[in-house]
Amino acid sequence: MSTHTEQAFRTEVEEALAAFAERRSAGATGWGHGDDRVTVVAERSEGEAEELAELRRYRAHLVDRGLAWVDGPEEYGGRALPDRFATLLRELESGFVLPDDAYLRFSVSTLCPTLLEHGTAAQRDDLLPRLRSAETIACQLYSEPGAGSDLAGLSTRAVRDGDGWRLDGQKVWSSGAHFSDLGLCIARTSPDKPKHAGLTTFLVDLRAPGVEIRPIRQLTGGASFDEVFLTGVHVPDSARVGEVDDGWSVVVTSLLHERSAIGREVGVDESLVDRLVDLARHTLDPVDARTRDDLADVIVRAWAARLTTARYLEGGGTPGPELALTKLLTTDLLARMSDVAADVLGAGHVADSGAWGSYAWSELTLGLPGLRVGGGTDEILKNAVGERVLHLPKDAR
CB-based contact 334:366 (threshold 8 Å): no
- Cis amide leading into 129 (omega within 30): no
Rounded to an integer, what distance in angstroms lies between the CA atom of residue 82 and that of residue 316? 8
3-class DSSP state for residue 87?
helix
Annotated domain spans of the chain: 3-133, 138-247, 250-389
CB-based contact 270:337 (threshold 8 Å): no
With 0-12 CB in 10 A as exposed, 13-18 as middle and 19+ as buried, what is 174?
buried
Rounded to an integer, what distance in angstroms lies between the CA atom of residue 266 and that of residue 20? 23
Q: Backbone dihedral region of 210: left (phi > 0), alpha (psi from -120 to 50 degrees) or beta? A: left
DSSP secondary structure letter of residue 45: S
3-class DSSP state for residue 325?
helix
CB-based contact 256:318 (threshold 8 Å): yes
What is the pLDDT at residue 28?
44
Half-sphere exposure at residue 104, Cβ-oriented, CA atoms within 13 angstroms? 22
> Phi and psi of 48, rounded to 5°?
-65, -45
pTM of this prediction? 0.84
CA distances 253 to 136, 148, 246, 260, 280, Å, are 21, 17, 12, 11, 41
Which pairing describes strands 225-236 and 164-171: parallel, antiparallel, or unpaired? Answer: antiparallel
- Strand-pairing partners, residue 165, are 160, 235
What is the pLDDT at residue 60?
96
What is the pLDDT at residue 42?
55
CA distances 10 to 1, 13, 30, 65, Å, are 13, 5, 25, 13
List, in sequence order, every beta strand (DSSP E) within the chain.
138-141, 157-161, 164-171, 182-188, 199-205, 211-216, 225-236, 240-241
Tell me which of 1.20.140.10, 1.10.10.10, 3.40.1160.10, 3.90.850.10 is the CATH number of domain 250-389: 1.20.140.10
CB-based contact 260:319 (threshold 8 Å): yes
Catalytic residue check, 91: no
Q: In sequence order, what are the residues at sequence separation of 6 or more whose Cβ sits closer than 8 angstroms to the Cβ of residue 344?
A: 279, 280, 283, 284, 291
The verdict on domain 138-247 having CATH code 2.40.110.10 is yes
Q: Which of 43, 48, 144, 258 does the annotation list as catalytic?
A: 258
The verdict on domain 3-133 having CATH code 1.10.540.10 is yes
pLDDT along the chain (397 residues), means of 10: 76 96 68 77 69 95 96 92 88 89 90 96 96 96 84 91 96 92 97 91 98 88 88 98 95 82 59 90 93 96 84 65 80 93 94 89 87 78 86 80
Common-topology check for domains 138-247 and 250-389: no
